[in-house]
Structure formats: structure tokens, C-alpha cells
Amino acid sequence: MKTKIIRTSTVPISLNILLKGQLKFLNQTFHIIGVSSAGKDLIEIQNREGIPTHSVEMKRGISPIKDFVSLIKLFIVFKNEKPAVVHSITPKAGLLTMLAGKLAGVPIRMHTFTGLIFPTRTGAMQKLLIKMDQLLCLSATHIYPEGNGVKNDLISYKITSKPLKVIANGNVNGIDLDFFSKEHFSTEQLLDLKEELGIQPNDFVFVFVGRLVGDKGINELVAAFKELETRNQKLEIRNQKLETRDREVGVSLISSPQSLVSSKVPKLLLVGTLESDLDPLKEETLKEITTNPNIISVGFQKDVRPYFAISNALVFPSYREGFPNVVMQAGAMELPSIVSNINGCNEIIVEGENGTIIPVKNAEAITVAMQKMMYDTNYYSELQQNARPMIQARYEQSVVWNALLDEYNMLIKKLDIKN
């Protein structure tokens, strides 16, 4: 009989997207069960991964009464299923799963920290979040930071004294390089999508993929893009004046050293949903998104690859991450990235090789980085050429899956020996 392992997340989209393919792979060796809040993503997991699922409603925000109800329901699921292992991702599912698992007597209780919230909070809220993560770790038997940055934060904030192990190179699922490839899209398909979105051949497209919320740096990104447009317009006016002068004096524009750049129009492509309930954007940001014709917001897209394929660079100025899949996905799609200097991002991106790293919450730095990407063609070309090979060398999906498989086998073997 296969050893039973339950994988949990707060909302089903996390299991569906973050662990796509992994659950099916692990189910060949173990009996995998998925648990999260209800939704169409949970049904899709069941069908695609070929595993049974349970729905237990869990709220991402703090809600003591609802959280207690979720805890009891998880406890009942664990008591009935009797797994050898429970393994959680995402913060709320982590706390509730580890507590319920301990109460239900699950011998191996694993949590992967895919990101930390408390470093970006202050005051009483930060203290509360730290206590919650400390309780999570106290109830867990094994703790896995998603990357060395998360590991260092767990240590520096004294969240736990238990051993911390980074699996593979840090990401929970690795990257499917066959899936994330420009080869899946014809020139005609990409031209059609560009036409649909109003993107012209000479446009330089910056793309953001993720939730459109404050802590993803959207306020700074939109402000930076607005400033980039202003600078670009001034540059265009200057070039037009130079063109006029050169024609008047009979000098070729090509030979004129004062003609700085060719005509380019920046576009900002936003792929993701607004979440106004938890972390709303500023009013001026929302207004700019809806009124600026060069900002194209397409909402949530199940398949983000076509949007990467029509873009020139990723901009991801998030305040906090664990190990962001979107940066790896963009790299696999041959895009250089502009990322903030935070956990995960600064492990995937190497400054000046496959992208650039900027300070957190710094709109001016975003503007400067975007401007350099647009107009320094040699710089951009080098970053673009390195983007996919650097992802391929470090985050191949099979490496991550097999490393997790080995970890499960090792822990279960130790449990059998102990028993």
C-alpha cells in the first residue's frame, strides 16, 4: 500500500498553479491527497493530477472564529485519512495544517515557506505575524524555506531554532522549460495578439504578471511608467528638433552623433487581478491604469505565455516574495527582468547578466532601469541572450521534483525505522 501524503494550501489556485504536474508525479510513488478551500481550481487539480481532494474553507486574512472552524475541519480530515505526512504551502494553510496535524497525531508535518509577510509589516501586526509563524514552526516537524533569503529571514527574526533545509535550488516546483517556451507560438499568433491589444511593431513592452496589489509594487510601477513616458516624450521632441536642424544644414541624421535613439513607445502590460479587499492600490494608480492608453490591463490569464511572448522585459517590483515563479517563467520565455532586491528575486536574477536588481519601493529606480532596457540595445541584447540558459541551468523542473521525492522517501524511511 502506498504511503499517504496530504498537500495543503489556503486557496486552490496555489495548489493548481504552484504545484502543477508535481502532484501527479509524486502520486506515482505515494498516495497524494490535495486539500484547500473549495473552487474550480480544486476540481481541476483532481482531474489533471489524478488525485482525490478535500475542500476545507480557509481565509487568507486573520479571522479567529473562521480559522478555528477551519482547524477543526482539517483535524477531522487528518483523523479520517490517517496520513503519514502533511505538507503545507502558503501562510494560513501552514499554521492550520501544522496545528491540526499535531493534534491529529500525523507523524511527519512539513511546511514550505513560500514567502514571509512579517518583514514588510510593523508594530503590533508584525509581532502577531511573527508569533503565528513561530507557532507554525513549533507544531511542524520539518521546515523548508523556499530559497536562502527566506531561510536567512527565519533565522534573523528567530522564528525557529529547528533545522532549515532548502530543497534543490529553492523553488517549490521548478520550471517546465518545454511548456514555457516561445516555440509554442507562431509569428501570426503573436501579431494577432498585439493587434488585439493595440501594440505597435515599434513599441517596447514591459510586462507585470501577478496580483495587482500594493505589496507587489504596482503603485511604484505605474508611477515609474508615467515618468518614463514623460522622459520618452521629451526625448522624442529633442530628436525631432535635431532632425529638423540636420535637414536644414544638410547633415545626414545617421551620421549625426547628437541623434540619441530611434523612436520607441513604451507600453505597460498588466496581467493579473485587482484585489481591493486586502491590499488596495492608490486611487491615482487605479485612475492611471484605467485612463492611460499605454497601460494595458488584461486581468487574470490562465495561460500567461502569450503575454510573455509579446513582451520585451518583465518588471517585478514586489515588496516580498518567497521564490517567485513569474521571474523564472519570464526568463524561460527569454525575457530579462527588472526585480526588487528581495528574497527569491535576487537569487534568480544576477545583476547585469539576466536582468537588473533595484531597491524596494523606489519608483525612480524602476524608471531608470526601464529606460536603460529600452535604449541601451547592447545591454538589453546581452541580458536577453542569457535569460533562458540561466533558468535552464538552475531550475529545471525534474531536479526539484526528484529532490522532493528523495526528501519524502528519506523521512518516511526514518519513520519506519523508528517505529
pLDDT tens column, 205-221: 999 999 999 999 999 99
**How does pLDDT run across 313-324, given as a tens digit for each residue?**
999 999 988 788
- Per-residue confidence (pLDDT) for residue 234, from 0 to 100: 85
| CA angle at 44 for the pair 88 and 113, rounded to the nearest 5° | 20
Residue 320 confidence (pLDDT): 87
* In the chain, ranges of CATH 3.40.50.2000 domains: 4-174+397-418, 182-395
For the segment 35-92, what is each residue's pLDDT rounded down to a tens digit?
A: 999 999 999 999 999 999 999 999 988 899 999 999 999 999 999 999 999 999 999 9
Q: What is the pLDDT of residue 46?
A: 96
116: burial class by Cβ within 10 Å (0-12, 13-18, 19+)?
Answer: buried
Which residues on adjacent β-strands are paired with residue 5?
32, 85
pLDDT digits (tens, 9 = 90+) for 323-333: 889 999 999 99
pLDDT-derived band of residue 255, with 50, 70 and 90 as boundaries? Answer: very low
Q: pLDDT tens digits, residue range 181-190?
A: 999 999 999 9
Cβ-count burial of 362 within 10 angstroms (0-12 exposed, 13-18 middle, 19+ buried)? middle
Q: Which helix (H) or strand (E) holds 337?
A: strand 337-340
- What percent of the chain is predicted at pLDDT more than 70? 94
Which run of H or of E encompasses 312? none
Query: Which residue's entry shows cell 489556503?
Result: 10
pLDDT at 237: 75
pLDDT, one tens digit per residue, over 102-132 is 999 999 999 999 878 888 788 999 999 999 9
Alpha carbons 304 and 398: distance in angstroms, whole number: 21
| Gap between the Cα atoms of 110 and 140, Å rounded | 6
pLDDT tens column, 260-310 = 455 689 999 999 999 877 789 999 999 999 999 999 999 999 999 999 999
Label residue 252 by pLDDT band (50, 70, 90): low
Q: CA 56: distance to chain centroid?
A: 24
What pLDDT was estimated at residue 242?
65
Element at 315 (helix H, strand E): strand 313-316
182-395: CATH number: 3.40.50.2000
Question: Is 4-174+397-418 a CATH 3.40.50.720 domain?
Answer: no
Helix and strand totals (H; E) in the chain: 16, 12
3-state secondary structure of 72: helix
In degrees and rounded to multiples of 5, residue 53 shows phi and psi of -135, 160
The CA-to-CA distance between both ends of the chain, in Å, stands at 17
Show Cβ contacts of residue 118 under 8 Å, excluding neighbours closer than 6 positions.
Answer: 126, 129, 130, 133, 157
